[in-house]
Amino acid sequence: MKNLMMAIAALLAFAVSPAQAAGKLSIYHWFEYIPQELLDKFSREFDVEVTMDTYDSNESLLAALKAGALGDYDVAVPGDYMVKILNQEGMLDTIGQNELSNRGNILPQWVDVDFDPGRKHSIPYQWGSTGFSVNRNIYQGDINTTAMIFDPPAELKGKINVLDTSGETLTLASIHLGIPQCTQDRDQLKKLDALVQGAKQHWASFNSDGAKDVLVSGDAAVGMIWNGFGAKAREEGAPIEYAFPKEGYIVWMDNVVLLKDAPNRANAIKFMDFLLRPENAAAVTNYARYTAGVKGVEAHLDPALAKSPEQNPPAGQKGFFVEACDAETQPLYDRIWTRLKQ
């Protein structure tokens, strides 16, 4: 009997341990943002066992790293302003000048960026915009204004979903008012507070990870959404159109960063180099429906993307990156957000 138990235990141990790979790579990534086939391809090519955990906002990435996850992961994919914050917090490792053989593939406009001058810690992953999509069966008028969210027409009242993150929702509200982000001006902050307080009665829900589903299911007729996620919602059958509001919208870039104390630094560098190859960057774009920051992806892209309205804004648009407020200003925005969700 004892022998039988031991035999079963040995068999189980054998069954659950994956085939031995030469190395490991531990990724901390957004949800629904990289195709499994691409991870498998990397795994096969470099004989590396890849594990991935996911997060749903830049802030929860920061919180997890602060709470002790630094040292568990090799790479993460923070947005623009969060790259700057992680760097200020000393959580990023520096990539050597000659470590990435495909460094030259980065598009020129993304080589020297404000949030990481000289790209010392990061490479571009994908970029896109945060705006909103409107259900065209319910509303046929002009949708290219942030009033759709903050001062909606009668047809759309009570059918609006906003993202459940203060950064994006309050930034879009600031764009609607035409006031700067991270302001300390009292009149401007009072106007911002009054705007969101007044608009909330027209909102049905605050939902980020379900932003696509509420549009597909018809629970919301207007939904704040990231452009690629909006494209996916449309491709899944939602009769929606992505707006390019005249007041402006949020532009962002996600970046693969090399984390400090990475347990598998060499494999992390290989992975970043792998993602800088045009065919691999294109695979991410084909999956996530955003835009790559790498040269030469066009030949590998899904032809539908070239015509996709979400990826092809009309000329002359105003895009704003989200700013990271300083320690004196951030509590003001936190207070507005808490009052809103009271």
Partner 1 sequence: MAGGVSSSGGHSVSSAYAAVRNWLLAPSWITIAIFMLGPVLLMAVYSFLTKEFRGGVLWEFSLASYDQFFFDRGLFGDEPPKLHWTYLAIYLRSFIQASVATLLCLAIGFPTAYFIATRPASTRMVWLFLITIPYWVNLLIRTVSMKFLIRDTGPINEWLISFGLLEAPIKMVNTDFAVQLGLFYSYLPFMVLPIYAAVERYDFALSEAAADLYADRWTTLWLVLLPAVRPGIIAGCILVFVPSLGAFLAPDLLGGAKNFMIGSLIEEQFKGAAGNWPFGAACAMVLLTMVLVAVFLYARQQAANARGGG
The 142-181 site mask, x for binding partner 1 (CB under 8 A), equals: ----------------x--x--xxxx--------------
User: Is residue 197 a contact residue for partner 1 (CB under 8 A)?
Assistant: no
Q: By C-beta, is 42 or 55 nearer to partner 1?
A: 55
CB of 84 to partner 1, least distance (A): 11
Task: Report the b/e string of 306-316 with b at 16+ CB within 10 A.
Answer: eebebbebeee
User: Is residue 200 a contact residue for partner 1 (CB under 8 A)?
Assistant: yes
The 98-127 site mask, x for binding partner 1 (CB under 8 A), equals: ------------------------------
Residue of the chain from 66, 71, 112, 312 that contacts partner 1 (CB under 8 A): 66
Considering only residues 4 to 63 of the shown chain, the ones binding partner 1 according to CB under 8 A are 57, 59-60, 62-63
User: Is residue 338 a contact residue for partner 1 (CB under 8 A)?
Assistant: yes
Binding footprint of partner 1, residue count (CB under 8 A): 42
Cβ atoms of 131 and 249 within 8 Å: the answer is: yes
User: Is residue 191 a contact residue for partner 1 (CB under 8 A)?
Assistant: no
CB of 10 to partner 1, least distance (A): 28
Residue of the chain from 72, 204, 295, 300 that contacts partner 1 (CB under 8 A): 204
Q: By C-beta, is 120 or 200 nearer to partner 1?
A: 200
User: Is residue 219 a contact residue for partner 1 (CB under 8 A)?
Assistant: yes
CB of 59 to partner 1, least distance (A): 5
Residue of the chain from 70, 75, 85, 250 that contacts partner 1 (CB under 8 A): 85
Interface with partner 1 (CB under 8 A): 57, 59-60, 62-63, 66-67, 85, 89, 158, 161, 164-167, 186, 189-190, 193, 200, 203-207, 210, 217-219, 327, 330-339, 341-342
